[in-house]
Amino acid sequence: MSILGHLSLDEDGAQHVSLEIKRLLPARRLDKYLQHRFSDFSRTLIQRLIAEEAVSVDGRPVKQSYQLKIGDRVDVILPPPPTNQIAPEPIPLDVLYEDDHLLALNKQADLIVHPARGNPSGTLVNGLVHYSNSLSKVNSQFRPGIVHRLDRHTTGVMVVAKTDTAHWRLAHQFEHRLVQKEYIAVVQGTMELDADVIDMPLGRHPRIREKYAARPETGKSAVTQYELQQQFRGYAVLRLKPKTGRTHQIRVHLSLIKHPIVADTIYGGKTMTLSQLANDQQLPPPEHIGCGLAPNEPVITRQALHAA
């Protein structure tokens, strides 16, 4: 028998389920067990989840033919169910460029890209549907125009397809790494090198399903190039060029080299207060700066990462 050990939702509405195997099962093969356990999902979907490492046993990705045994902990990330419709909402959009085929916008912080379970409204897609009647429908009716994504708290440039042809061509460029992506980040500490390449495979964290971690043996290839733009006392500004597109890639890689992004608390970053900024930069005391902030009030309140 298996029991439900834990259930949670991430910011995109995916459901995280943890199961513990208590006794021998009639269907011990992993994919068959999951088919029986989640009867609403097709065999093809179950196999795809296993292949994409959305399923792990005791924190490790396994093959669909894995034979379950007593004591195994099976963690599964189930895709969110579709919503019935997308409600147009007058969410402010900072459109940088637009023509008949696509538009580019500057995504603000604390904005989820598309609706999902737990976040049916207030997303970028809700704002796009309100803004334009012409959005691609290739991805799905619930993600019109969306070719790529940024994390909820990451700001910066996103490209949105307005036609299906534009969507196909843009998706091809992203898939084949023909798009050069650049980010600006404020990180903690003094950089030892002016430039370097971080090459470390990444995968889901073995214990915390919402996080990613270095997985040298089982992870997917992840490469990030960075250049120091400016060094201050206590923190630095970096320009980053990810050569792969793994979830949380830049955030995890910078944490691994002991320079987490400022205010990225999930990966070890700390908020920066006015007092810390004044001390680090030899500025006047906070009470003399006159910016309206209290000395211990954070200057940067979200992860300092921007898609340039």
Strands (E), the chain: 2-9, 15-21, 55-57, 60-61, 73-78, 95-98, 102-107, 155-161, 183-188, 195-199, 202-204, 212-214, 223-231, 235-242, 272-273, 298-300, 305-307
Distance in angstroms (rounded) separating the CA atoms of residues 301 and 11? 18
Distance in angstroms (rounded) separating the CA atoms of residues 88 and 125? 8
Active site residue 199: no
Count of C-beta atoms within a 10 Å radius of residue 229:
13
| Cα-based distances in Å from 92 to 112, 126, 147, 270, 290 | 13, 11, 20, 29, 30
CB 48 within 8 A of CB 38: no
Distance in angstroms (rounded) separating the CA atoms of residues 300 and 262? 8
CB 86 within 8 A of CB 142: yes
* 34: Cβ contacts below 8 Å, ≥ 6 apart: 41, 46, 49, 50, 55, 74, 76
CB 288 within 8 A of CB 269: no
Catalytic position from the list 31, 72, 151, 264? 151
Distance in angstroms (rounded) separating the CA atoms of residues 210 and 71? 23
Helix/strand/coil percentages in the chain, nearest 5: 20, 30, 50
Two structure tokens written together for 27: 């269907």
Q: Catalytic residues, which ones?
A: 151
